Amino acid sequence: MIGQVIFAIILLLAIALASYNARKIIRNIKLGRPTNRNDQPVMRWKTMLSVALGQSKMTKRPTAFALHLLVYLGFVIINIEMLEIVIDGLVGSHRIFSGLGTLYNFLIACFEWLAFGVLLGCVIFLIRRNIIHVKRFFGVEMTQWPKTDANLILLAEIALMTAFLFMNAADYKTQILIQQSSIIGAFPISKWLFMLLPTDILTLHTIERICWWFHIVGVLAFLNYLPYSKHLHIILAFPNTYFSNLNPKGQFTNMAAVTEEVKAMLDPSYTPPTPEQPIHFGAKDVPDLTWKNLLEAYTCTECGRCTAVCPANITGKLLSPRKIMMDTRDRMVEIGMQQEKKETFTGDGKSLLDNYITREEIWACTTCNACTEACPVNINPMEIIIELRRYMIMEESQAPTSINAMLGNIENNGAPWKYAQADRANWRNSY
């Protein structure tokens, strides 16, 4: 009875802490401006099922795709057994679903094979990160904590799967030693651990209980570690892909305030509506971005696929799309913490532009959308880059000389090049 009470307290505390962390994440995402992503629900469901659940964009790197699928599906499916573990912990039973008979044996066998797959995948991922040193896992933005975070998660999954298999192995050996007429469960992997365990039934029971507690407490701890880790994408990949931008890649959004001014210029009789608040162009800080941009910052798993295909980064320029997302997330969390203390955020003398993301990074972008195409969960760093550029040009009137020259040519000649509009089609005469 004492064990049941302790388990119930741990479970309730874990759920309460997870709820608190979830509210903080939602609060931080709501720092962003509103944007409508509720159109075309059928297409959105298809996108989510294909990209988040089916991992269709991961297939471009077959090795990483196979390993990720093994770890992802294994970890998620194995945790279905958490239902049995939770019920056992609350009511004091042992393998409460064993009455399912053959079906139960089949499920336990599947869980064991999946646990072995997770172990294998995590070990290979550790080797890729720490021995092979795959290039995209490194970069100036990948400081000690991001690298440590990735290793911690992999080691935690290995520990949880090991505890699961040893728990089953101890239970299996106990059943054999007490000469049960029929074995509850099927143990295709853990039976190979048989020889590593003692023959004393009391010791086996102790090992089984230690592994049981380690597994359940470890999973609950993992749940509450996610909000502080890049692995939050396990959950947020689904809403992020559902709310994807369904417009053609690279299609710029028109600013309503600018549209109204253009209408007034073209039609002197048209009177633009009076805005309720002062009009701001582009984004300087996190609150100027949309909630979808902030959701994407939380969803980023720092895999580096975006940076690996970025032509600016490949040619040695300062831009790293992964850093754009990481900086946005760091700044968002910083503002959220200040807002939590002061109830309202009134400014701290810093901003996303300049203090986190430099202007050199922003202007290195070629707007090719390679980063968006490469992202496994449809994150779009270019949207943030464009909004920061808009602020610099439309609010500060600051841009590189080449950009100012191009804008002047467009205004005067209707083209980015410095020649008269009458000569724009002369290139055809050379063919």
Lowest mean pLDDT among 114-118, 227-231, 426-430: 426-430
401 shares a domain with 343: yes
| pLDDT higher than threshold 70 for residue 247 | yes
Lowest mean pLDDT among 2-6, 180-184, 290-294, 368-372: 180-184
Task: Quick: pLDDT tens for 288-339.
Answer: 999 999 999 999 999 999 999 999 999 999 999 999 999 999 999 999 998 8
Distances (CA, A) of 18 to 79, 198, 219, 222: 17, 38, 12, 10
Q: For residue 290, which phi and psi values (nearest 5 degrees)?
A: -85, 165
359 shares a domain with 230: no
91 shares a domain with 21: yes
In a domain, 186, yes or no: yes
Domain that holds residue 371: 283-421
334 shares a domain with 207: no
Lowest mean pLDDT among 166-175, 201-210, 324-333, 398-407: 398-407
Percent of the chain with pLDDT over 90: 60
In a domain, 66, yes or no: yes
316 shares a domain with 184: no
Q: How far, in Å, CA of 327 to CA of 388, rounded?
A: 13
Q: What average pLDDT does this structure show over 91-111?
A: 88
In a domain, 334, yes or no: yes
Q: Considering 242, 263, 294, which residue would you say is the last residue of a domain?
A: 242
- Whether the Cβ atoms of residue 170 and residue 208 lie closer than 8 Å to each other: yes
Q: Considering 187, 210, 242, which residue would you say is the last residue of a domain?
A: 242
Residues found in the chain: 431
In a domain, 197, yes or no: yes
| pLDDT higher than threshold 80 for residue 421 | no
Going along 50-118, which residue ranges are E strands? none
The number of helices, as runs of H, and strands, as runs of E, in the chain is 18, 0
Q: What average pLDDT does this structure show over 89-116?
A: 89
What is the predicted pLDDT for the residue at 3? Answer: 85
156 shares a domain with 19: yes
Q: What average pLDDT does this structure show over 44-56?
A: 94
Q: For residue 355, which phi and psi values (nearest 5 degrees)?
A: -80, -30
Residue 322's CATH number: 1.10.1060
Q: How far, in Å, CA of 372 to CA of 322, rounded?
A: 11
318 shares a domain with 407: yes
pLDDT confidence bin for 181, thresholds 50/70/90 = low
| pLDDT higher than threshold 80 for residue 46 | yes
Query: Which residues are 357's β-sheet partners?
Result: 353
- Whether the Cβ atoms of residue 35 and residue 290 lie closer than 8 Å to each other: yes
| pLDDT higher than threshold 80 for residue 213 | yes
Q: How far, in Å, CA of 325 to CA of 233, rounded?
A: 13
What is the predicted pLDDT for the residue at 94? Answer: 85
Domains held by the chain: number: 2
- Whether the Cβ atoms of residue 364 and residue 312 lie closer than 8 Å to each other: yes
pLDDT confidence bin for 77, thresholds 50/70/90 = confident
Task: Quick: pLDDT tens for 339-353.
Answer: 888 777 777 889 999
What is the predicted pLDDT for the residue at 150? Answer: 92
Lowest mean pLDDT among 26-30, 296-300, 409-413: 409-413
82 shares a domain with 10: yes
Lowest mean pLDDT among 93-107, 227-241, 268-282, 298-312: 268-282
What is the predicted pLDDT for the residue at 344? Answer: 75
123 shares a domain with 202: yes
What is the predicted pLDDT for the residue at 95? Answer: 85
pLDDT confidence bin for 430, thresholds 50/70/90 = low
Q: What average pLDDT does this structure show over 406-414?
A: 85
In a domain, 188, yes or no: yes
Q: What average pLDDT does this structure show over 87-115?
A: 89
301 shares a domain with 220: no
Question: What tokens does 135 get?
Answer: 């290039």
Identify which of 357, 347, 360 has the alpha carbon closest to the alpha carbon of residue 398. Answer: 360
179 shares a domain with 304: no
- Whether the Cβ atoms of residue 225 and residue 22 lie closer than 8 Å to each other: no
Task: Quick: pLDDT tens for 356-409.
Answer: 999 999 999 999 999 999 999 999 999 999 999 999 998 998 888 888 888 888
- Give the chain's mean pLDDT: 90
| pLDDT higher than threshold 70 for residue 431 | no
Residue 391: partners with Cβ closer than 8 Å, 6 or more residues away: 280, 281, 282, 283, 284, 288, 353
In a domain, 399, yes or no: yes
Q: What average pLDDT does this structure show over 28-45?
A: 94
| pLDDT higher than threshold 90 for residue 84 | no
Q: Considering 189, 221, 242, which residue would you say is the last residue of a domain?
A: 242
What is the predicted pLDDT for the residue at 415? Answer: 80
Coil vs helix vs strand at 33: strand
| pLDDT higher than threshold 90 for residue 149 | yes
Distances (CA, A) of 200 to 175, 178, 189, 207, 209: 12, 11, 21, 11, 14
| Of 262 and 42, more confident | 42
128 shares a domain with 222: yes
Q: What average pLDDT does this structure show over 30-48?
A: 94
In a domain, 47, yes or no: no
| pLDDT higher than threshold 80 for residue 428 | no
Q: Around Cβ 278, how many Cβ atoms within 10 Å?
A: 5
